[in-house]
Amino acid sequence: MKKIEAIIKPFRLDEVKEALNELGVTGMTISEVKGFGRQRGHKEIYRGAEYQVDFVPKIKIDVVVSSDMADKVVSIIAERANTNKVGDGKIFVLPLENAIRIRTGESGKDAI
């Protein structure tokens, strides 16, 4: 099993979510997060004064899938979240040792 964590721009969420649903991903967790990468935030002007926005709002998507499905999920996220602009985000793929469904006690692939 693999855990895929993707940090994307908020306005790309619906497109990514729909594509993952079409692929057969049965569940995901979404979090509103803030952060920065190489871009180090950006500057905005409010009432004539310029100020630095250090932490940019992003969406974090967590998905757990079988190992054979991980590459497809990563490519779908990368394709649908891409705007060809700075700050599109990152995707992290982590090995997952086990998953347990609390209600039934199922574990492994049966739990996802």
CATH code at position 63: 3.30.70.120
* pLDDT tens-digit readout, 16-33: 999 999 999 989 999 999
* Phi, psi angles (nearest 5°) of residue 43: -105, 140
Is there a contact between 112 and 104 (Cβ–Cβ < 8 Å)? no
Read off the DSSP letter of residue 8.
Answer: E
Number of domains within the chain: 1
pLDDT averaged over 10-residue windows placed end to end, the chain, 112 residues: 96 96 94 84 72 84 95 97 91 96 92 86
Range of the domain at 103: 2-111
Which segments of 27-83 does DSSP mark as H helices, in order?
Answer: 67-81
Give the model's pLDDT for residue 44.
66
